[in-house]
Amino acid sequence: MRRFFWRRTIIVLSWILLTQLIAPSLIKDRLIKAVPRLDLDFVSLSLFDISRLTLNGIHITTGTRGMADIEASIPSLTVDLALSPLFDEQLVIESLTVTKPDVMYTDGELPRGPKTTSPTLNVVVKTAHVEGGRFTYRRVLYKEASLITLNDIRLQASVDQEVRVKSNFQIEKSGNIQLNFHFPLKQENLTAEVHVFIKGQNLADLNVFFKSNDGVVLKGIMQEGVGRVVVNGDQAKSRVKAIYKNFDAKLVSNEDQGGAEVFFTNIGIVLTTKSKNKSKKREEVVTKRQPNESIVHFILTGLKVAALEVASSSD
C-alpha cells in the first residue's frame, strides 16, 4: 500500500513538473525561435487539458517591407490546440481567444526596413475570438502621421475554405460600427467582400485622421450608413448609402496639405460649407489600387470616396 502511494505521488508530481514547468518552457522557446520579432513573458499549460495553452505578455511586430507594419501588444491569449499535427511541424489552433489586444497598423511612406524571415512553423487558425480590443490605423503621408482608433472591438472569425470575420467596434468616441468581410484562402488574384454598417457616428471624431491625411475637416452626424466593397485584383467597387444630419466639410489650406484640393477634385467632389440638414442617397465608385498600397488603405479609400460623394451631392 505504501509503495503504491509513493508510486502514485511520483507520477502526479512528474505530471505537474512536466505540464507546469518543462513543457511551457519548451513551448516558449520554440515560439520565440519560430516567430520573428516576438517577445513573450510566460506560457502556461492546463494541468488537466494539455491541449489548452495560455500565453501572457505578448509583443510582436511584423509586416511587409516598406509598405505596412503591424505592432501588437496582447495581455493574454488562450489557445486550444490539435495535438497530432505538431509531429508534422504544423500548429493547428482549433480555437483562439484574445483578450484586450492593442494593435497599431502603419502604412504609407515607410522606410524600407531589413527583410525578416518567415515563421518556420506552419500555423493554421480555425476560429478566433477577440474581446475588448483596440486597433489604431496610422497613415504616413508627406512624412506626417495621421491616426484613427477603433475601440472596444469584439470580433469572431472562422476559417475553412475562406476567411469570414464579423466584428463590432466604436470609432474614436462615438458610433456603433459593424464590419463583416470574407475572402477565399486559395486564389491567384485577391478577391474580397467587405460590408460596413454604421449608426450615430459623429464625423468630427474622424478629423484626427482626415485633417492631416486628406486636408479636410468634417462636421455633422452620419445617422445611418451602409457600405459594401468588392475587391477584384487591383480594382475595388465601393457602394455607400448614408443618412447624414448637418453635414459640413471644409478644406484645410496649408503647404503640408497642398494636394488635398487636387485629391477631392480628381474624385469629382465639390466640398461646400453649406450645412446639410439631412441626406439619403446611394453612390457607387470604382477605385484602382496603387503600387505598394496596402489592402487596408485601398479598402478604406473606396469607402471614404463613396461616403463623401453621398454627402457632397445630397440635397
Give the mean pLDDT of 158-177.
91
Which one has a higher pLDDT value, 159 or 263?
159
pLDDT for 314 equals 52
Length of the chain: 315
DSSP state at residue 22: I
- Give the pLDDT mean for 43-64: 85
d(CA 247, CA 238): 21
Provide the Cα torsion 280, 281, 286, 291; round to 10°.
-20
Q: Is 90 exceeded by the pLDDT of residue 135?
A: yes
Q: Give me the mean pLDDT over the 10-14 stretch.
A: 79
> pLDDT > 90: what percent of the chain?
31
Q: What confidence tier does 13 reach under pLDDT thresholds 50, 70, 90?
A: confident
Local structure of residue 62 (DSSP, 8 states): E
Q: What is the distance between the alpha carbons of residues 118 and 100, in angstroms, rounded to a whole number?
A: 26
DSSP for residue 118: P
On average, the pLDDT of the chain sits at: 80
CA 133/CA 83 separation, integer angstroms: 28
C-alpha cell at 20: 507546469
Where along the chain do its domains lie?
1-161, 172-315
Helices (H) and strands (E) in the chain, counts: 5, 14
